Amino acid sequence: MKYEQLAKDIIENVGGKDNVNSVVHCVTRLRFKLKDESKANTEVLENMDGVVTVRKSGGQYQVVIGNHVADVYKAVVAEGNFDAKKPVDADGADEEDKGNLFDRFIDLISGIFTPILGILAASGMIKGLNVLFVSLGWLEEASGTYQILNATGDALFYFLPILLGYTAMKKFGGTPFVGMVIAMALVYPALEGIPDTAEPLYTLFAGTVIESPVYIEFFGIPVILMTYSMSVIPIIIAAFFAAKLEGFLTKVIPSVVRMFLVPMFTLLIIIPLTFIVIGPIATWASQILGEGTLWIYDLSPVIAGLFLGGLWLVLVMFGLHWGLVPIAINNIQVAGADIILPLTFVHSFALVGAVLAVWIKTNNQKTKTLSAPASISAIFGVTEPAMYGIALPLKRPFIFTLISSAIGGAIIGLFDTRQYIYGGLGVFKFPSFINPEEGLNTAFMGSVIAAVIGTILAFLLTYFFGGFNKKEEKSTSEETSQPAEEKIEQNVKNEVIESPLNGEVKSLAEISDSAFSSGALGKGVAIQPTEGKLISPVSGTVSALFGTHHAIGIETERGAELLIHIGMDTVQLDGEFFKAHVSQGDKVEKGQLLIEFDIEAIEKAGYEVITPVVITNHDKYKVIEIEAQGKVQIDDPLIMLENEK
């Protein structure tokens, strides 16, 4: 059998036949459910010819093969004497097994942030450089230049909920602009400024840990105001409930008035609900956290450092850190120094170390490109690009960052390092630790030691245990992403791939499926189709046609390998609403009808129809350029490929 040896090697390195509960395949990967994932030898698999990479998601151990996955699957089933079960789609898990809560939460957050990673990193760089210019004396904070640069770098972070309102609502299947309006209400200046300009009407739970001043009411219901700018979790929770409510309203409201009544009722219900419910919960949780941290510090500064240093980034994600900021400010004003915020100081340096290790080790070009600016901005204390763009999606660097930050916090607590002025982030926070009377004392040196150890520890943990694909880049004629038996000719020719659909061109980053949006399955674009006809954009051979007819692979006459995947999760439709006009192995001509699909029925069933068009052997080309933007018609130039030779 052609793939017999590859199948044997794969089974051996997933822990053997006895470690496999089941195996299925999708368009590009084998999906194992293993009894014990720790028995799998991930590093060996990732370095194996015929394996692109390995991913763990949704309770599945995924061995990415590429276009030849169907043949490899047959060999694996035969070699292991497994039951050939129905394949699942490219997004991962069956309904009954979506992985543990932590994995699902991180996948959700990173998926929501994926579309804004580039601009997130750019804004962090601008913000960090502006702080550097002031520190070097090149700019004054009162100057117009500083103010404009500050607005340029800080705008995304201040209004981050608005962008997340769009991406989160889209992720949950709702109308993105409804999510944006919900976020706009949360950061509405007139509401955010009320606590600074008005006296409270009354105070709830006076004298308790959750004492909360009330400045406004909503139909007699008290509203506890908090700062939502730069927050993450509140808008994501609001978007989740908004998408569910919108779906319900769409079903019960007549179509003739649905266009304006659905968003109107969604906003009228969700926005007050967010202010009344999410706000108080976050506020009270912050206050309890602040009191709890002071209690732990009195018990043991080292334990407090471990606790607060290790959890600081998680607290920031949920907006709970605001409960500590007023305590810190009050400590500085009343006692002359704060003992709380110094415990969180090392988190930005730990991120720097982790992301630098990612930058050195990763073979993913997109991740490598984002890592450099993200690490630089983290040095200056702007951690969002590094956390949301790199560490959190990769999971292990995020965990190692938390561990290293916890160790750093413990060191800060051990040295009893204190903060004497409020302000400054990252490297610019060091001056705040200088004792006005004693100068650079032992406590100050403790902050330096903690930062150095936190950086080095996070770097080493991520470098050696980050789970990266260590497969070396090869400059020979070998194609390492395919089995040795199926090496294709390296002399691919220049080619223009035309649009196979009528619709609107989208970036791959806009796709909710991380396998496509990250570029792991190939480079290219996505199309939001307006007509349910997929036309062959090239002349070639159908190299793969999935059984449910929602995805097709084509090898062109000039050597390009093309994958077209109609919609997200559409494999679950079992071929309903799809009609294939070709079979695997067929020769096709440019302009030939490949697949028909019912857009309205697919969307009504709850699935996206956005369609990625990717070049899976993109590494054969020196240049891959997207030729189309906005609306596109069948036969319009879409992707231009240039050979290295």
How far apart, in Å, are the Cα atoms of 21 and each of 1, 15, 429, 548, 637?
A: 24, 11, 52, 24, 46
Decide: 386 and 352 in contact? Cβ < 8 Å.
Answer: yes
Average pLDDT over residues 52-72: 77
Q: What is the pTM of this model?
A: 0.52
Q: pLDDT tens, 64-107?
A: 887 677 788 888 998 888 876 544 443 433 444 445 566 666 66
Confidence at residue 470, expressed as pLDDT on a 0 to 100 scale: 44
Confidence at residue 107, expressed as pLDDT on a 0 to 100 scale: 64
Confidence at residue 133, expressed as pLDDT on a 0 to 100 scale: 85
More confident residue, 396 or 1: 396
Instruction: For the chain, give the mean pLDDT.
Output: 83
Confidence at residue 91, expressed as pLDDT on a 0 to 100 scale: 40
Q: pLDDT tier at 537 (50, 70, 90 boundaries)?
A: very high
Q: pLDDT tens, 543-590?
A: 888 778 898 989 888 888 899 999 987 877 878 899 999 888 888 988
Q: pLDDT tens, 410-462?
A: 999 999 999 887 666 788 888 889 888 888 899 999 999 999 999 999 999 99
Decide: 336 and 422 in contact? Cβ < 8 Å.
Answer: no
Average pLDDT over residues 613-638: 87
Query: Which domains can be identified in the chain, with CATH numbers?
Result: 4-99 (3.30.1360.60), 159-299 (no CATH), 300-466 (no CATH), 490-643 (2.70.70.10)
How far apart, in Å, are the Cα atoms of 408 and each of 298, 305, 389, 411, 461?
A: 18, 8, 23, 5, 14
**Distance between CA 50 and CA 29 in Å, rounded?**
11
Which range of 131-135, 157-161, 240-244, 330-334 scores highest in mean pLDDT? It is 240-244
More confident residue, 643 or 35: 35
In this model, does residue 314 exceed pLDDT 70? yes
More confident residue, 267 or 489: 267
Confidence at residue 333, expressed as pLDDT on a 0 to 100 scale: 63
Relative to beta strand 523-529, strand 20-25 is unpaired
In this model, does residue 477 exceed pLDDT 60? no
Q: pLDDT tier at 296 (50, 70, 90 boundaries)?
A: confident
Q: pLDDT tier at 628 (50, 70, 90 boundaries)?
A: confident
**Distance between CA 191 and CA 384 in Å, rounded?**
25
More confident residue, 97 or 248: 248
Sequence-distant (≥ 6) Cβ neighbours of residue 504 within 8 angstroms: 527, 528, 530, 630, 631, 632
Helix H or strand E encompassing 588: strand 587-588
In this model, does residue 611 exceed pLDDT 90? yes
DSSP annotation string for 97-151: B---HHHHHHHHHHHHHGGGHHHHHHHHHHHHHHHHHHHTTSS-TTSHHHHHHHH
The one-letter amino acid code at 554 reads: I
The one-letter amino acid code at 184 reads: M
Q: pLDDT tier at 181 (50, 70, 90 boundaries)?
A: very high
Helix H or strand E encompassing 171: helix 160-171
Annotated active-site positions, please? 26, 565
Decide: 526 and 511 in contact? Cβ < 8 Å.
Answer: yes
Q: pLDDT tier at 473 (50, 70, 90 boundaries)?
A: very low
Name the percent of the chain lying above pLDDT 90.
33
More confident residue, 282 or 40: 40
Nearest to 477 by CA among 347, 618, 620, 360: 620
Decide: 334 and 298 in contact? Cβ < 8 Å.
Answer: no
Average pLDDT over residues 472-490: 37
In this model, does residue 248 exceed pLDDT 70? yes
Confidence at residue 67, expressed as pLDDT on a 0 to 100 scale: 63
Q: pLDDT tens, 386-406?
A: 888 888 888 899 999 999 999
Confidence at residue 163, expressed as pLDDT on a 0 to 100 scale: 92
**Distance between CA 584 and CA 175 in Å, rounded?**
37
**Distance between CA 607 and CA 615 in Å, rounded?**
24
To which residue do tokens 């999708």 refer? 26
